[in-house]
């Protein structure tokens, strides 16, 4: 779960690109196959807790009879009513339920008074009127969309479908429901991008905050496990043998770091630069070169030297033909030294849209476990079969 990358020579930032303003992470909500919160994830990454692999816990109905191919990672003992109550949850899909639960976990465990404002009171709280939601969710609920589409073919008439299921087929259903249930009245955006969707969400959030479109955002990524995604990965061969398919959601309350400290909010971590790129198939510099370039730009915009990076959170674990691509890019960008690496997918499995958010959660969980000087720097990387690459630079919030 934790390894070391031996790197080749890299360069320090040149100072040619403008610096970014740090964003503060003031709270987090993590729902993963390890359980709820960072503590559970930290234990699983240490090997002190087993991630749940019991597919029988999924509410799959008749689909359960066919089983799921290969190994899976499931959020254990998950019931949305435990987090938001039973009222109004009957027609929620699992993607939306995971998102709602993650925000509930964020609010319940936050040391920031803003997060603990009751939902009923939030409508009149100026902090919440400008709080928005930005989530990476490539296709929304794949199961809902697939089953709704199937019904148009198997019903006696195409229009004899369950109308109550239609809202779950919309890609941004989860972000809308997160805003409605938790009283988040700011901007609302869903970012698609496959394995890089969560990092795309952080990039979007940075731009929105920098341009004054929001003062505070809940940012992250979500992915459900269902037969359609499990069999899809199996059929395409996109995962190496033995790589489990998983699910989860991680969200983070994010605002300008200077404003957060002035307001007395806790700063758990600082998000520095987030860079993304797309590499068409067959073009140069190729995904490894493009990711290395992304890392270089992100470090420069963060004012961070390659030698300052003390941890890498890898995203291509288990992706066919891409693990070595990602590691080659990291070696090219970070210089000739051994850099500890954490692979959250050893716990969560391949969680697609949620990968980047869970990778960031793994960084915070690892730092929470360590007794180390402040100012640690981590790099979160991602590369997908579709040509998308992305990275995020993170600094330990204890740096002050």
Q: Are 234 and 67 in contact (CB under 8 A)?
A: no
Query: Structural domain of residue 357, as residue ranges?
Result: 2-18+269-399
Q: Do 335 and 10 meet the contact criterion of CB atoms below 8 Å apart?
A: yes
pTM for this predicted structure: 0.91
Total domains in the chain come to 2
Q: What is the mean pLDDT of each run of 10 residues along the chain (400 residues)?
A: 43 68 96 97 96 88 67 95 91 93 91 64 63 92 79 80 78 92 93 96 96 95 94 93 96 96 94 95 87 97 96 96 95 90 97 97 93 84 95 83
Q: What are phi and psi of 25, to 5 degrees?
A: -90, 115
Dump pLDDT digits (tens) for 264-296. Answer: 999 999 999 999 999 988 788 899 999 999 999
Distance from C-alpha of 219 to C-alpha of 216, rounded to nearest angstrom: 10
Express each pLDDT in 105-131 by its tens digit: 999 987 666 666 666 555 556 666 679
Among the residues of the chain, which ranges form H helices? Answer: 37-46, 81-84, 94-109, 119-122, 126-129, 142-154, 173-182, 197-210, 227-236, 257-262, 286-302, 323-334, 345-348, 355-369
Please check whether residues 119 and 241 belong to one and the same domain.
Answer: yes
Collapse the DSSP code of 104 into the 3-class scheme (helix H, G, I; strand E, B; otherwise coil) and give the result: helix
Contact 379, 309 (CB under 8 A): yes
CB contact set of 391 (below 8 Å; sequence gap of 6+): 199, 274, 275, 291, 294, 295, 298, 379, 380, 381, 382
Q: What is the DSSP string of 13-36?
A: --S-SPPPPPEEEEEEEEEETTEE
Same domain as 329, residue 237:
no
Which of 230, 262, 294 delimits the end of a domain?
A: 262
Q: State the CATH number of the domain containing residue 62.
A: 3.40.47.10
Query: What does DSSP assign to residue 266?
Result: -
Please provide the distance, in angstroms rounded to a whole number, between the alpha carbons at the two ends of the chain. 29
305 and 249 within one domain: no
Same domain, 238 and 314: no
Give me the pLDDT at residue 116, please: 66
Domain boundary among 262, 297, 324: 262
User: Do the bridges between strand 248-256 and strand 216-223 make them parallel or antiparallel, or are there none, so unpaired?
Assistant: antiparallel
Token pair of 203 as six digits:
């990039």
- Looking at the structure, tell me whether residues 184 and 253 fall in a common domain: yes
Q: Output the pLDDT for position 235.
A: 93
| Rounded Cα–Cα distance for residues 363 and 366 (Å) | 5
């Amino acid at each position: 779960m934790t390894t070391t990358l031996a790197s080749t020579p890299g360069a320090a930032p040149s100072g040619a690109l403008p610096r970014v303003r740090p964003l503060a992470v003031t709270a987090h909500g993590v729902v993963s196959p390890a359980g709820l919160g960072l503590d559970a994830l930290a234990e699983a990454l240490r090997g002190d807790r087993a991630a749940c692999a019991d597919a029988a816990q999924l509410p799959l109905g008749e689909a359960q009879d066919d089983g799921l191919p290969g190994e899976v990672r499931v959020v254990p003992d998950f019931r949305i009513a435990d987090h938001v109550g039973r009222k109004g949850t009957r027609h929620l899909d699992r993607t939306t339920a995971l998102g709602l639960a993650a925000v509930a976990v964020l609010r319940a465990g936050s040391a920031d008074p803003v997060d603990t404002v009751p939902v009923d009171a939030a409508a009149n709280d100026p902090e919440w009127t400008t709080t928005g939601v930005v989530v990476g969710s490539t296709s929304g609920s794949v199961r809902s969309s697939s089953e709704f589409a199937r019904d148009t073919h198997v019903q006696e008439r195409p229009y004899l479908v369950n109308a109550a299921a239609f809202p779950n087929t919309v890609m941004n259903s989860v972000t809308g429901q997160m805003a409605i249930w938790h009283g988040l009245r700011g901007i609302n955006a869903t970012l698609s991008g496959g394995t890089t969707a969560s990092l795309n969400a952080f990039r979007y959030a940075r731009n929105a905050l920098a341009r004054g479109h929001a003062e505070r955002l809940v940012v992250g990524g979500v992915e459900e496990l269902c037969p359609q995604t499990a069999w899809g990965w199996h059929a395409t061969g996109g995962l190496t043998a033995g790589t489990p398919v998983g699910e989860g959601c991680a969200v983070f309350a994010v605002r300008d770091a200077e404003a957060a400290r002035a307001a007395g909010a806790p700063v758990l971590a600082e998000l520095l630069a987030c860079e993304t790129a797309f590499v068409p198939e067959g073009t140069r510099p190729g995904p490894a070169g493009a990711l290395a370039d992304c890392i270089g730009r992100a470090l420069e915009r963060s004012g961070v030297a390659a030698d300052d990076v003390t941890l890498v959170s890898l995203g291509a674990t288990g992706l066919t033909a891409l693990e070595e691509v990602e590691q080659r890019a990291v070696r090219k960008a970070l210089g000739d030294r051994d850099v500890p690496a954490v692979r959250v997918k050893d716990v969560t499995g391949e969680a697609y849209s949620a990968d980047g958010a869970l990778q960031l959660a793994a960084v915070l969980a690892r730092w929470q476990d360590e007794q180390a000087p402040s100012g640690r720097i981590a790099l979160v990387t991602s590369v997908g079969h579709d040509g998308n690459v992305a990275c995020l630079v993170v600094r330990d919030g204890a740096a002050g």
